């Protein structure tokens, strides 16, 4: 039996894999002969982080951080909470923060400021999705999977109230759709 499609599909598994391979190749080129730390933002970045790591060959390690401003809402509260800190030593290391989505940029701005306190050699951002229309900060990712409009997206790590992270595609839901979920 086929799984019920949730929302309107924006990007298929094939689209996501293709972009991960392209970005992985770019990271290999940018960091040739160097080591990187992939720092995934929990929980949404996990599928994208795994894909990026599968398609890079540079020596790497991985750690995680949890920072959020959404809770159970479809819009950001504006208050960033860090509930899990990375354990890995970042001093004089190349760090690539792997995000599921950059929306307003407030959470990422806060996170990057906290990471700079650890004295990394470099910090870059790899985001699966970039939602520029909602940006309230002057932040830009170094590696972007896809640019999207001001949509509420789910799937491939992205959730609505902790649901739908496991969808093998990225789709979007509109206000009326939420009642059906």
Tell me the CATH number at 51.
3.40.50.2020
Confidence at residue 180, expressed as pLDDT on a 0 to 100 scale:
53
Q: Is omega for the bond preceding 43 within 30 degrees of 0, making it cis? A: yes
Which domain, by its residues, includes 72? 14-151
Give the residue from 120, 114, 119, 127 showing the smallest Cα distance to 158: 127
Is 181 within the bounds of a domain? Answer: no
Name the active-site residue from 51, 100, 103, 159: 103
Place of tokens 């409009």: 149
Is 8 within the bounds of a domain? Answer: no
- The total domain count for the chain is 1
The pTM (predicted TM-score) of the whole model is 0.89
State the sign of the Cα–Cα–Cα–Cα dihedral 150, 153, 157, 160: positive
Is 160 within the bounds of a domain? Answer: no
171 DSSP β-pair partners: 9, 154
- Residue 171 CA to residue 156 CA, distance in Å, equals 9
164, 16 contact by CB (below 8 A): no
Indicate the pLDDT class of residue 28, thresholds 50, 70 and 90.
very high
Show the tokens assigned to 61.
């390690």
Is 123 within the bounds of a domain? Answer: yes
Indicate the pLDDT class of residue 71, thresholds 50, 70 and 90.
low
Is 159 within the bounds of a domain? Answer: no
Confidence at residue 1, expressed as pLDDT on a 0 to 100 scale:
43
- Residue 122 CA to residue 138 CA, distance in Å, equals 18
Is 136 within the bounds of a domain? Answer: yes
The dihedral over CA atoms of 42, 76, 117, 85, expressed in degrees to the nearest 10, equals -30
Is 175 within the bounds of a domain? Answer: no
Q: Angle of helix 13-30 relative to helix 46-54, nearest 10 degrees?
A: 60
Q: Known catalytic residue: 63?
A: no
Place of tokens 């770019």: 26
123 DSSP β-pair partners: 95
Does the pLDDT at position 177 exceed 80? Answer: no
Is 103 within the bounds of a domain? Answer: yes
> What integer is the mean pLDDT of 134-156?
94
Indicate the pLDDT class of residue 181, thresholds 50, 70 and 90.
low
């Amino acid at each position: 039996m086929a799984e019920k499609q949730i929302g309107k599909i924006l990007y298929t598994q094939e689209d996501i894999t293709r972009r991960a391979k392209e970005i992985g190749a770019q990271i290999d080129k940018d960091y040739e002969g160097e080591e990187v730390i992939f720092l995934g933002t929990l929980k949404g970045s996990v599928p994208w982080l795994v894909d990026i790591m599968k398609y890079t060959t540079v020596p790497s390690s991985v750690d995680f951080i949890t920072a959020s401003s959404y809770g159970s809402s479809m819009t950001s509260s504006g208050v960033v909470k860090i509930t899990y800190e990375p354990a890995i030593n970042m001093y004089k290391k190349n760090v690539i923060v792997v995000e599921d989505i950059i929306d307003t940029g407030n959470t990422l701005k806060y996170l990057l400021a906290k990471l700079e306190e650890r004295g990394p050699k470099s910090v870059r951002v790899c985001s699966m999705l970039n939602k520029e229309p909602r940006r309230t900060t002057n932040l830009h990712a170094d590696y972007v999977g896809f640019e999207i409009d001001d949509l509420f997206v789910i799937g491939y790590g992205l959730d609505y109230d902790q649901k739908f992270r496991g969808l093998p595609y990225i789709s979007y839901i509109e206000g009326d759709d939420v009642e059906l979920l």
